[in-house]
Amino acid sequence: MCIAVFVWQAHPLYPFLLLLNRDEYHNRPTKPVSWWEGCEILGGRDEVAGGTWLACTREGKFAFVTNVLESRTLPEARSRGDLPVRFLESKKSPKEFAEEVMKEADQYNGFNLILADISAKTMIYISNRPKGELISIKEVSPGIHVLTNAKLDSPWHKALRLHRNFNELFGIYGEDEIPLNELVEELMKDTVKADRNRLPNICSPDWEIHLSSIFVQVDTPLGCYGTRSTIAISVKASGEVSFYEKYIENESWKEHTVTYQIKKVIKKLI
């Protein structure tokens, strides 16, 4: 499970700014954000399946994926974490890659996938759920969006809460520079849960209650499950990228920032 809030092509300094919480079992082997050996991908890495939940490249391509909350999943399905990697390794545009994914979408459990090319000012959303419905490719409009474990901008409690809080804080900074670590502390540690009458009623109510906050933490028979990393990314109109991560390692929180310059010259992003 994950939740992300992002602003796309709607700020004079930042054509793209994103905050994302990754929820997973704390004991699942994971590498923190770094440049991957042998390629120009920057992101965290799941050491079990080898994929990622969020990554980017020096050419200005970004991709992130969230699971769709479902009562049943297929254990033999392909890893959803491969989708961002494949896009970033390809030469395809976001729309071209989304069209490729459409042809094989039934091989995956439920996913939401965002594909972006900053230099081309293009962002695409694709999902293979609800099951049985026609898969569509949607161009993401300028503005603030929230993606959790349902459709983009679905009115779940945590999505509405994060959108509202982000919008308010975003307004305070106005057109000034925005400190990513402050956004993380103010927005992504929120543990307020939904009322039971506002749950999506997909899985057991007790499990959905645990998942209904922006920051998740719950003890299970398989170990602690919840928010184990938060990522904040800002892309300036100059092409400067700041990739901040706060993550759990050996049961303690650590943080680091990676910065780089998009290779292509960006002109008039806003």
Give me the residue spans of the domains in the chain.
2-261
Rounded to the nearest integer, the mean pLDDT of the chain is 94
- Give the class (CATH, top level) of 2-261: alpha beta
User: CA–CA separation, 7 vs 1, rounded Å?
Assistant: 21
User: CA–CA separation, 150 vs 112, rounded Å?
Assistant: 8
Instruction: Give per-residue pLDDT as tens, 30-66.
Output: 999 999 998 899 999 999 999 999 999 999 999 999 9
Q: Token pair 């479902």 is at which residue?
A: 70
Task: Give the mean model confidence (pLDDT) for residues 76-80.
Answer: 96
Judge whether residue 270 has pLDDT over 60: no
Query: In the Cβ-directed half-sphere of 150, how many Cα atoms lie within 13 Å?
Result: 16
Q: Which residues contact 101 (CB under 8 A, 6 or more apart)?
A: 83, 113, 126
User: CA–CA separation, 52 vs 63, rounded Å?
Assistant: 9
**Residue among 42, 5, 91, 51 nearest 262 (CA):** 42
Rg (the chain; Cα; Å):
17
This prediction's pTM: 0.95
User: CA–CA separation, 189 vs 227, rounded Å?
Assistant: 9
**Residue among 255, 251, 245, 20 nearest 114 (CA):** 20
